[in-house]
Structure 1
Amino acid sequence: MKYHTGKLYWPSTLPNAAQYPALDRDLHCEVLIVGGGVGGALCAYLLAERGIDAVLVERDRIAGGSTLASTGLLQYASDKTLTSMIRTFGEEPAVHFYQLSRKALERLKQIAEGLNGAARLTERSSLYLASSERDMTSLRQECDTLQRFGFSALWWSESEIADKFPFRYPGAIYTEGDAEMNPYAFVHGVVREAVRQGGRIYERSPMRGSERDESGRIHCRCGEGRVTARHIIWATGYEAQQFKKERGAHLRASFVTVTEPAASLSSWHEQCLIWETARPYLYMRTTPDRRIIAGGLDEILPGGKLPEGREIRQSHRLLAEIQRRFPDQSHLTASYAWGAVFGESRDGLPYIGPHPNYPGFYFLEGYGGNGTVCSMIAAEMIVDELTGNRRDDLAMFSLERSSKPVPPQGL
């Protein structure tokens, strides 16, 4: 499946991205990571940090898949509100997931502090807007729920929003401590650090099959070579759906536009991350060179495939949404526009962990709009398990889970 179409912005920000060799020999390692996106990169980094011998293979180029289509908003809040999660799962697992997300966001910031240039994160506040009066009650309740469980959240009235922005909304949740990233540069920075600590990286080396021997080691045909490993981390994102379908997951099309640089962003309070309660999604952020990124307008995948050229029409709609909220940017044009495959789970949680049909494999599938944060949760859980630190809360994200996740133990 093709995972993005159109003109992508992020490669232009890192024109001299590092390249890695194709695998043309036989190797032995403790852990083989399949996939060179954000999830695979974080696994390689954590394993190298703990001194575990790991090899990462990528079918194409590092950060060349769904990472290229990410808009790089990092928030502890999920697409599914904490209030809604509590109704679905109960208080303990719902709050635990939000706590894991907050912790993962802080871990991402910590990792980024050791990286250089565009790979670093920029801390931002977030504004979650009530798109209409009918959304006010549920959004205000969500603010109260977040505050009750110790999460950063303030309620802003219509007048408080209007004092800081050139638009009016009935109300909003304002939070601090979120972040924005350049996902392409971040993944390259994380991979470079993994290599510095002993990790081995191979591009253009697709995995073509595997066999498990009597000792439990797995022999994988990758590129023009073979890798023998004790464990496999499958971090190919939505591609896993092509051979192992999760009953509660589905794929959609999402769209992004990136403007030319603005002369000024002075009307955009704190250049905070903006998102709304209305569906389909609409969210916005800025870049270090004063561009505006807007994304959303999710829709079904017609025929199960990403439509070529659809991003052009959707880009016009997204640009109009930017200009409706920021009239001072009415002259801006779109410089980049793309469409991308976007995965969601029915219950709002990622899929993480082993699967009985694939012994020795751990899967990392960060479904939802907070994919990078969920990938950080997954990478730490999987690496903990592989290094002898049992994670009982891994059961929450089981690939075979029912609608009710298993509550974490001992919390």
Structure 2
Amino acid sequence: MGGGITGALVAHAFATAGISTTVLEAAAVGRGSTAASSALLLKEPDLELTQLTNRYGVRRSRRIWELSHQSVDQLIALLKRRRIRCDLKMRDAVYYATTAQAAERLRQEHELRARLGFESEWLGPVRLRRLTGITGHGAVLTKASAQFDPYRACVGILRAASAAGAHVFERSEVRRIEKTPDGVCISTRHGTLHADRVVIATGYATPRFRPLAGRFRMYRTYVLATEPLDIGQRDDVGLSDVMVWDTERPYHYARWTPDHRLLLGGGDRLVKPGQQRGQHSGTAARDLRAYFDAQLPALATVRTERVWEGLFAVTADSLPYIGPHRRYPRHWFALGYGGNGMTFGSLAARLLLERWQGVKSRDHALFEFARLRRP
């Protein structure tokens, strides 16, 4: 249930394993949060290793980070193996601090990463400016991340899943899910289907799963695309072919597109009750643009050509929920990715397939609902 990048990856994993698989998408595949994403395929989760370690200890935190790294590598390998044309580009990622205090904390984060075996290179202010054009106090550089066109990737993965036997239905909103003696019965406007399990890959708890809504905070994120820049303008901006994001919360990020535009994103805002889509997009876009104009002054003469927003869910520890919930028999969930939907969608496909195959792993407990005690 859900035809975004997570649903696509889960469907591909199950179908290629020889399991009868059907995808039900209420609208059009890949057109929701997937299409709104700027698709920074970062190896590190939203929560820093230091923050995770303070919460869960060294062993569990290291494993969460290992799984995040592996999931990026596996998704990149899948896109290459299936020859999915989605403008996939390998990129280094630069995580930078704009204040001395933030730089000191980031330096400690860098040292912890290195100590736990994660590749991490420290950039001082001079190297940071040379590589990105940004005047900051320090940064961590991570190699072998990636970027791509998320919509084309989603459609390509679904096509590969379909070739492996999966059935994909658009405009098939699920109206009811009922437990049966041997599985579930799923009803849409067009008919019903029976399955052993249903995977909920909608990104967050939809109204159908209202009791779970309290486990998530909903945010809107914003993205700007500039007009294409010529070689001289790119040189003036000073940002090389790396992806950048900052230590602020909410954070900001930027990357180049294949047609030489800059994608500028972030500035996430908590969704409040009754707030309508687009209600604050104008103010958010202006704030986002002002931030990057200050970081990269040469952008002041570059026109913003497109603006859009996306909706995503964040859990209390910024990690997703992947697996069953006691309230919903025969349901498996893959929800709450924060800003790392591409990475954790790949992880969800792997962990849920393991569950189906009866594989027992401590990794499952890291992302279960039970890790955060709630009703």
TM-score range (shorter-chain normalised) is: over 0.9
1:105-254 equivalences under 5 Å are 105-116=72-83, 118-214=85-181, 216-240=182-206, 243-245=210-212, 247-254=214-221
| TM-score (norm. length: structure 1) | 0.85
Deviation at 1:99, TM superposition (A): 0.2
SS at match of 2:254: strand
Tell me, yes or no, if the aligned pair for 1:44 and 1:191 is still in contact at 8 Å.
yes
CA shift at 1:222, angstroms?
Answer: 2.3
Matched residues, number: 370
d(CA) in 1 for partners of 2:205 and 2:26?
A: 11
1:316 aligns with 2:320: no
**Greater mean alpha carbon deviation, residues 350-359 or residues 114-123:** 114-123
Give yes or no for contact 1:281–1:296 (8 Å, CA) kept in 2: yes
The structure with the greater share of residues assigned to helix is: 2
Q: Does the 8 Å CA contact 1:366/1:372 hold for their aligned counterparts?
A: no
Instruction: Give the distance between the partners of 1:110 and 1:341, measured in 2 at CA.
Output: 28
Is 1:341 the counterpart of 2:307? The answer is no
- For the pair 1:60 / 2:14, whether they are aligned, the reply is no
Q: CA deviation at 1:302?
A: 3.1
Fraction of identical pairs, as percent: 29
Greater CA drift, 395-404 or 45-54: 395-404
Deviation at 1:166, TM superposition (A): 2.8
Which residue pairs with 1:287 in the alignment? 257
- 8 A contact 1:125–1:270 mirrored in 2: no
Q: CA deviation at 1:151?
A: 1.2
Q: Deviations over 1:121-160 (max 9, x none)?
A: 2111011111201112210011011111221210111122
User: Is structure 2 residue 221 aligned with structure 1 residue 257?
Assistant: no
Contact 1:350 1:397 (8 Å CA) reproduced: yes
- Taking a change above 3 Å as real, the CA distance of residues 304 and 137 of structure 1, as seen in their structure-2 partners, is farther
Gapped regions of structure 1 (runs ≥ 5): 1-33, 405-411
Structure 2 residue 369 is the aligned partner of structure 1 residue 399: yes
The superposition leaves residues 190-231 of structure 1 with CA deviations (integer Å, 9 ceiling, x where unpaired) of: 0011111111100001111122222x2211112311111111
Q: Give the TM-score normalised by structure 2.
A: 0.93
Cα distance, 1:268 vs structure 2: 4.1
Moved more, 366-375 or 78-87: 366-375
* 2:353 aligned residue: 383
Unpaired runs of 5+ residues, structure 2, are none
TM-superposed CA distance for 1:334, in Å, is 1.4
**Structure 2 CA distance for aligned equivalents of residues 225 and 130 of structure 1:** 53
Structure 1 residues 332 and 359: alpha-carbon distance in aligned structure 2, compared to 1, 3 A threshold = same
**Counterpart in 2 of 1:103?**
70
Shift of residue 307, structure 1, vs aligned partner: 4.0
Shift of residue 165 of structure 1? 3.5
Does 1:356 pair with 2:326? yes
* Matches of 2:364 and 2:220, distance apart in 1: 29
Aligned to 1:16: none
